[in-house]
């Protein structure tokens, strides 16, 4: 039995990292007989948003204080858990800088893997000043230096490979489907859905500009936004006509099935798990062709549309094309459901199992 230790900040959020970890860790424990432990920080494993297998052991360490105290407690706590669990494999799911130091600060015979769930672009904004940009680039150099100390450095898409060209331990393992419904949406409800944290990254501000154009031609259609609220970015209490906001939904599958088009307006992505979820429910997708993910998932003009990143009028135009043509929606929706099968959990879990056993 392989003893597998995941190290992450927490699993009680509603984000993509937490959802993917719940899926693959549970599947490895239930179907491959892995002995799985998940280590979180500061009890951020309590009341998880997603369901984890009862076979998984949940542990936590406390890390507090100033940066020096924090790092010392982080190092000491991880070493204590590693000594206790005696893992064969350690997989680090931490997109921050501290996760890169783990091979250098702990003593273990385990093989170490790093999982990168976001793009570097998550830390770089066009309005950053010179000093902030310099610090970000210095951070990336540190990440590349210490990332080389892992046996494997796993990214989600082929596009992500370009961000880590200095590393020779790279491999691509995409996220798996979180559900596989037999049924599909009828695609006859005049409803567009967008799922994701209300944020600069997810670009709902751009989507609302596109929707203003769409709503002028199709005032009988609605746009439904699901995700964690951020009133500093977007005031969801004062949305335009026919736009409705909902908090994160555990049964998001049902919401996809009640919709007819999926739209993604992200400025950048790590993968775009919402796209494969929507496609599994038979929805055609319209997305900005942002870095990175959508172009690995959507097949242009077959199961959806890729629009030049940030092109609001083209985003509106592609939505309108699907709204106006029910036959086109249904043809693309059927192709979406077929093409997304390459992301089945069983297939992705096999890749992880082979990777772990190969080490």
Using the structure block, give the residue that is written with the tokens 């690995």: 296
Q: Which portions of the chain are predicted below pLDDT 70?
A: 124-127
Q: Is 200 found in the same domain as 118?
A: no
- pLDDT per residue over 252-293, tens digit each? 999 999 999 999 999 999 899 999 999 999 999 999 999 999
Orientation of helix 326-339 relative to helix 312-324, angle to 10°? 100
What SS3 state is found at 72?
Answer: helix
Cβ atoms of 35 and 2 closer than 8 Å: yes
Q: Is 264 found in the same domain as 206?
A: yes
Q: Is 305 found in the same domain as 219?
A: yes
Cβ atoms of 201 and 272 closer than 8 Å: no
How many angstroms separate the Cα of 136 from the Cα of each of 23, 124, 139, 148?
Answer: 32, 7, 5, 19
Tell me how far the alpha carbon of residue 34 is from its chain's centroid: 24
- Our CA dihedral for 314, 156, 347, 102, rounded to 10 degrees, sits at -160
Q: Is 207 found in the same domain as 136?
A: no
Alpha-carbon gap, residue 328 to 315, rounded angstroms: 17
Phi, psi values for residue 204, rounded to 5°: -65, -20
Q: Residue 184 domain-assigned?
A: no
Task: Read off the CATH number of the domain in which 240 is found.
Answer: 3.40.50.2000
Residue 287 sits in which domain range?
191-343
Cβ atoms of 13 and 99 closer than 8 Å: no
The pLDDT of residue 133 is 84
The pLDDT of residue 350 is 97
Alpha-carbon gap, residue 228 to 36, rounded angstroms: 29
Contacts 24+ apart (CB under 8 A), 95-102: 95/17, 95/122, 96/9, 97/139, 97/142, 97/143, 98/71, 98/74, 99/7, 100/142, 100/143, 100/146, 100/147, 101/146, 102/7, 102/78
Q: Residue 333 domain-assigned?
A: yes
Q: Structural domain tally of the chain? A: 2
What SS3 state is found at 154?
Answer: strand
The pLDDT of residue 277 is 96
Phi, psi values for residue 172, rounded to 5°: -105, 125
Q: Is 206 found in the same domain as 81?
A: no
Q: Residue 185 domain-assigned?
A: no
Q: Residue 321 domain-assigned?
A: yes
- pLDDT per residue over 11-69, tens digit each? 998 888 999 999 999 999 999 999 999 999 999 999 999 999 999 999 999 999 999 99
The pLDDT of residue 125 is 62
Q: Parallel, antiparallel, or unpaired: how do β-strands 57-61 and 35-41 relate?
A: parallel
Alpha-carbon gap, residue 158 to 163, rounded angstroms: 10
Q: Residue 183 domain-assigned?
A: no
Q: What end-to-end distance do the CA atoms of the chain give, in Å?
A: 14
Give me 210's structure tokens.
Answer: 């596109």
Q: Is 242 found in the same domain as 131?
A: no
Q: Residue 45 domain-assigned?
A: yes
Alpha-carbon gap, residue 343 to 358, rounded angstroms: 21
Q: Is 261 found in the same domain as 172?
A: no
């Amino acid at each position: 039995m392989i003893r597998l230790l995941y190290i992450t900040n927490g699993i009680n959020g509603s984000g993509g990292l937490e959802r993917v970890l719940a899926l693959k860790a549970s599947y490895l424990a239930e179907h491959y007989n892995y002995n799985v432990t998940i280590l979180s920080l500061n009890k951020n494993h309590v009341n998880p948003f997603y369901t984890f297998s009862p076979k998984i052991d949940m542990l936590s360490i406390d890390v507090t204080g100033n940066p020096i105290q924090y790092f010392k407690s982080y190092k000491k706590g991880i070493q204590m858990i590693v000594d206790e669990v005696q893992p064969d494999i350690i997989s680090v799911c931490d997109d921050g800088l501290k996760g890169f130091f783990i091979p250098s600060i702990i003593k273990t015979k385990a093989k170490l893997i790093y999982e990168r769930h976001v793009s570097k672009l998550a830390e770089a904004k066009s309005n950053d000043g010179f000093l902030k940009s310099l610090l970000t680039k210095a951070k990336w150099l540190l990440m590349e230096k210490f990332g080389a100390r892992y046996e494997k450095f796993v990214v989600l898409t082929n596009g992500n490979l370009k961000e880590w060209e200095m590393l020779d331990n790279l491999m691509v393992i995409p996220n798996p489907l979180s559900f596989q419904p037999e049924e599909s949406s009828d695609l006859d409800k005049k409803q567009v859905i967008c799922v994701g944290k209300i944020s600069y990254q997810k670009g709902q501000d751009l989507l609302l500009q596109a929707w203003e154009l769409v709503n002028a031609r199709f005032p009988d259609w609605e746009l439904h936004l699901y995700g964690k609220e951020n009133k500093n970015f977007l005031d969801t209490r004062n949305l335009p006509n026919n736009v409705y906001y909902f908090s994160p939904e555990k049964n998001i599958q049902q919401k996809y099935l009640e919709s007819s088009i999926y739209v993604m307006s992200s400025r950048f992505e790590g993968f775009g798990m919402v796209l494969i979820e929507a496609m599994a429910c038979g929805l055609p997708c319209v997305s900005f062709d942002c870095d990175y993910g959508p172009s690995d998932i959507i097949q242009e003009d077959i199961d959806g549309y890729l629009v030049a990143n940030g092109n609001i009028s083209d985003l509106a135009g592609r939505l309108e094309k699907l709204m106006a043509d029910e036959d086109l929606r249904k043809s693309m929706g059927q192709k979406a459901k077929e093409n997304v099968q390459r992301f089945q959990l069983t297939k992705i879990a096999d890749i992880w199992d082979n990777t772990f056993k190969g080490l």
